[in-house]
Amino acid sequence: MGITLARMDPAGIDGTALASFLTTQVFPFHVRPRWTSAQVRESIDDGAWHGDAVATFWIDDDRDGRVGVLRLDDLDDATAMIDLRLADDARGRGHGSAALRIAADLVFSRYPAVIRFEGQTRADNVAMRRVFERCGWVHEAFYRDGWPVEGAEPVASVAYSVLRRDWATGTTTPVPRSPEDEVARRARDAESLAAAAWSAEERLLNPAVRADPRQVTALLDPSFVEIGRSGRRWTRDAIVAALREDPGADDAPEIREKDSRLVGPDSVLLTYLLRFEDRVSRRSSLWRFDPAPRCLFHQGTPVA
């Protein structure tokens, strides 16, 4: 099964198709289970499906064809929201989980302002709740009587989210239930980011990586600066070119006195003593996760 997201133009060529999809399907766990053509047109005119902070996509499957609609909202905010609707005959086939994973990749890679990606549903929508959980989203909130139901009493709603740092590191951090839990969570975050930064740092010391401009460029931030052992200031382009010509031959550098500290929600400072090709130096590197680790600054000082 291969799911793809195709950007929609609801105010243009896709308006009729969107109206057809919404008016021919029933969405029992949404606030509006059934749509009329007039309601669809009004919502399009009001900017509910397109705009500077809204993006809507068709969900397409290479086997089943067009299986649903996915809308992203508040893309200019720190917390973006998702609205996922599958066709009646497409539910229970894994399409929701695949689309949700692709949506998270899209949001965090294209919208740097977003640090949380959130979705809400009715508490009794067990299928959607399982989709969130399979994709590593965390159950954050339970709102009593928070979901209006036409012609009936309201039901509880629930909120799930994934954080940018969890998406970047492939981890899942649970919601803290006490001050002690929050302290422990922050310690785990720092440990996870530090481990990823050390892995990236060690890759940069590998001659096979250093000789490959593509790999080095991927590990260095565009604004990267290095102050070398000689005092020379290097830019990313200059260091990439220099390493391509002389990547070094020591494939087993010795790293000692390793220390790391979290200097921001997504930044880690590494310091260490390096023995590389019979030269000893003290090194410091500043890594930022955006979303993958990229080195912002590096400095080396010779040790006699």
Examine the domain organization and report whether 22 and 80 are in the same domain. Answer: yes
Examine the domain organization and report whether 17 and 139 are in the same domain. Answer: yes
Residue 120 lies in a domain: yes
* pLDDT at residue number 253: 84
Examine the domain organization and report whether 205 and 139 are in the same domain. Answer: no
| Nearest CA-CA partner of 284 in 240, 241, 228 | 228
Examine the domain organization and report whether 192 and 164 are in the same domain. Answer: no
| CATH code for the domain in which residue 222 is found | 3.10.450.50
- Lowest-pLDDT choice from 17-31, 79-93, 257-271: 257-271
* pLDDT at residue number 187: 64
182 pLDDT tier (thresholds 50, 70, 90): low
Examine the domain organization and report whether 94 and 198 are in the same domain. Answer: no
DSSP state of 173: P
* pLDDT at residue number 180: 67
* pLDDT at residue number 289: 83
278 pLDDT tier (thresholds 50, 70, 90): confident
Does residue 186 have a pLDDT over 70? no
Examine the domain organization and report whether 49 and 144 are in the same domain. Answer: yes
CB 87 within 8 A of CB 58: no
Residue 183 lies in a domain: no
Q: Strand ranges (DSSP E) for 87-218?
A: 116-122, 138-149, 152-163
Chain-wide mean pLDDT for the chain? Answer: 90
* pLDDT at residue number 109: 93
Last residue within a domain, chosen from 121, 145, 175: 175
Examine the domain organization and report whether 35 and 101 are in the same domain. Answer: yes
Instruction: Lay out the sheet containing 279-289: strands in order across.
Output: 233-235, 220-227, 293-302, 279-289, 267-276, 254-264
Examine the domain organization and report whether 87 and 32 are in the same domain. Answer: yes
183 pLDDT tier (thresholds 50, 70, 90): low
Could you give the number of structural domains in the chain?
Answer: 2
Domain coverage including residue 86: 3-175
pLDDT tens digits for range 53-107 = 999 999 999 998 999 999 999 999 999 999 999 999 998 889 999 999 999 999 9
Last residue within a domain, chosen from 150, 175, 200: 175
1 pLDDT tier (thresholds 50, 70, 90): low
Examine the domain organization and report whether 157 and 201 are in the same domain. Answer: no
Residue 194 lies in a domain: yes
Last residue within a domain, chosen from 175, 199, 217: 175
* pLDDT at residue number 190: 77
| CATH code for the domain in which residue 63 is found | 3.40.630.30
Residue 46 lies in a domain: yes
110 pLDDT tier (thresholds 50, 70, 90): very high
- Mean pLDDT of the region 155-167: 94
Instruction: Lay out the sheet containing 65-73: strands in order across.
Output: 3-7, 55-61, 65-73, 79-86, 116-122, 152-163, 138-149
Examine the domain organization and report whether 121 and 210 are in the same domain. Answer: no
Residue bearing the bigger pLDDT, 257 or 183: 257
Quote the percentage of the chain above a pLDDT of 70.
95
pLDDT tens digits for range 207-256 = 889 999 999 998 999 999 999 888 899 999 999 999 999 888 777 788 99
Task: Quote the CA–CA distance of 196 and 270 in Å, as a whole number.
Answer: 11
- Mean pLDDT of the region 159-170: 92
CB 280 within 8 A of CB 303: yes
Examine the domain organization and report whether 31 and 118 are in the same domain. Answer: yes
179 pLDDT tier (thresholds 50, 70, 90): low
Residue 182 lies in a domain: no
Does residue 174 have a pLDDT over 90? no
* pLDDT at residue number 184: 66
- Mean pLDDT of the region 16-22: 96
Examine the domain organization and report whether 164 and 218 are in the same domain. Answer: no
